[in-house]
Amino acid sequence: MNEATFTFRVDKALKSQFAAAAKSRDRHAAQLLRDFMRDYVRQQQEAAEHDVWFRRQVHIGLDSAKAGHLTTAAEVEARFAAKRAATRRRLAASIE
Protein backbone atom coordinates (compact mmCIF):
# COMPACT_ATOMS: atom_id res chain seq x y z
CA MET A 1 0.00 0.00 0.00
CA ASN A 2 1.33 3.42 -0.95
CA GLU A 3 0.95 5.49 2.22
CA ALA A 4 1.12 9.20 2.88
CA THR A 5 1.07 11.24 6.06
CA PHE A 6 -1.92 13.44 6.79
CA THR A 7 -1.22 16.21 9.30
CA PHE A 8 -3.78 18.64 10.70
CA ARG A 9 -4.37 20.73 13.78
CA VAL A 10 -6.99 19.86 16.35
CA ASP A 11 -7.86 21.11 19.80
CA LYS A 12 -5.87 19.23 22.48
CA ALA A 13 -8.97 18.34 24.45
CA LEU A 14 -10.70 16.94 21.36
CA LYS A 15 -7.60 14.91 20.48
CA SER A 16 -7.46 13.43 23.99
CA GLN A 17 -11.17 12.66 24.03
CA PHE A 18 -11.00 11.06 20.58
CA ALA A 19 -7.97 8.94 21.52
CA ALA A 20 -9.72 7.81 24.73
CA ALA A 21 -12.92 6.96 22.82
CA ALA A 22 -10.91 5.01 20.24
CA LYS A 23 -9.02 3.13 22.97
CA SER A 24 -12.29 2.24 24.70
CA ARG A 25 -13.26 0.43 21.47
CA ASP A 26 -9.86 -1.25 21.17
CA ARG A 27 -8.90 0.89 18.19
CA HIS A 28 -6.21 3.44 17.48
CA ALA A 29 -7.28 6.96 16.63
CA ALA A 30 -5.51 6.65 13.27
CA GLN A 31 -7.51 3.52 12.44
CA LEU A 32 -10.77 5.33 13.12
CA LEU A 33 -9.71 8.36 11.11
CA ARG A 34 -8.88 6.13 8.13
CA ASP A 35 -12.28 4.44 8.49
CA PHE A 36 -14.03 7.81 8.65
CA MET A 37 -12.15 9.00 5.57
CA ARG A 38 -13.07 5.85 3.60
CA ASP A 39 -16.72 6.18 4.63
CA TYR A 40 -16.79 9.84 3.64
CA VAL A 41 -15.25 9.14 0.22
CA ARG A 42 -17.72 6.28 -0.35
CA GLN A 43 -20.68 8.48 0.64
CA GLN A 44 -19.53 11.23 -1.73
CA GLN A 45 -19.13 8.75 -4.58
CA GLU A 46 -22.59 7.31 -3.94
CA ALA A 47 -24.08 10.82 -3.83
CA ALA A 48 -22.40 11.72 -7.12
CA GLU A 49 -23.64 8.49 -8.75
CA HIS A 50 -27.17 9.16 -7.51
CA ASP A 51 -27.01 12.71 -8.85
CA VAL A 52 -26.00 11.42 -12.30
CA TRP A 53 -28.83 8.84 -12.23
CA PHE A 54 -31.37 11.41 -11.05
CA ARG A 55 -30.41 13.95 -13.73
CA ARG A 56 -30.65 11.21 -16.37
CA GLN A 57 -34.15 10.33 -15.14
CA VAL A 58 -35.21 13.99 -15.27
CA HIS A 59 -33.95 14.30 -18.85
CA ILE A 60 -35.77 11.11 -19.85
CA GLY A 61 -38.97 12.54 -18.37
CA LEU A 62 -38.50 15.90 -20.06
CA ASP A 63 -37.78 14.26 -23.41
CA SER A 64 -40.88 12.10 -23.01
CA ALA A 65 -43.02 15.15 -22.20
CA LYS A 66 -41.61 17.06 -25.18
CA ALA A 67 -42.54 14.09 -27.37
CA GLY A 68 -46.13 14.44 -26.19
CA HIS A 69 -46.22 11.45 -23.84
CA LEU A 70 -48.24 13.15 -21.12
CA THR A 71 -50.95 12.06 -18.73
CA THR A 72 -53.58 14.58 -17.73
CA ALA A 73 -54.42 15.24 -14.11
CA ALA A 74 -57.89 13.81 -14.67
CA GLU A 75 -56.41 10.55 -16.02
CA VAL A 76 -54.08 10.26 -13.03
CA GLU A 77 -56.94 10.93 -10.61
CA ALA A 78 -59.17 8.35 -12.31
CA ARG A 79 -56.41 5.72 -12.26
CA PHE A 80 -55.71 6.22 -8.56
CA ALA A 81 -59.39 6.45 -7.66
CA ALA A 82 -59.76 2.98 -9.19
CA LYS A 83 -56.74 1.74 -7.21
CA ARG A 84 -58.16 3.17 -3.98
CA ALA A 85 -61.53 1.53 -4.68
CA ALA A 86 -59.87 -1.84 -5.35
CA THR A 87 -57.87 -1.56 -2.13
CA ARG A 88 -61.02 -0.73 -0.16
CA ARG A 89 -62.78 -3.78 -1.67
CA ARG A 90 -59.86 -6.05 -0.73
CA LEU A 91 -59.82 -4.66 2.82
CA ALA A 92 -63.55 -5.09 3.18
CA ALA A 93 -63.31 -8.67 1.89
CA SER A 94 -60.49 -9.50 4.32
CA ILE A 95 -62.52 -8.19 7.26
CA GLU A 96 -65.57 -10.27 6.45
Q: For the chain, give the DSSP string.
A: -----------HHHHHHHHHHHHHTT--HHHHHHHHHHHHHHHHHHHHHHHHHHHHHHHHHHHHHHTT----HHHHHHHHHHHHHHHHHHHHHHH-
pLDDT in tens, 35-86: 999 999 999 999 999 999 999 999 999 999 999 999 999 999 999 999 999 9
27: left (phi over 0), alpha (psi -120 to 50) or beta: beta
Q: Work out the angle at residue 89's Cα, subtended by the Cα atoms of residues 84 and 91, and round it to the nearest 5 degrees.
A: 95
Q: Considering the entire predicted model, what is its pTM?
A: 0.66
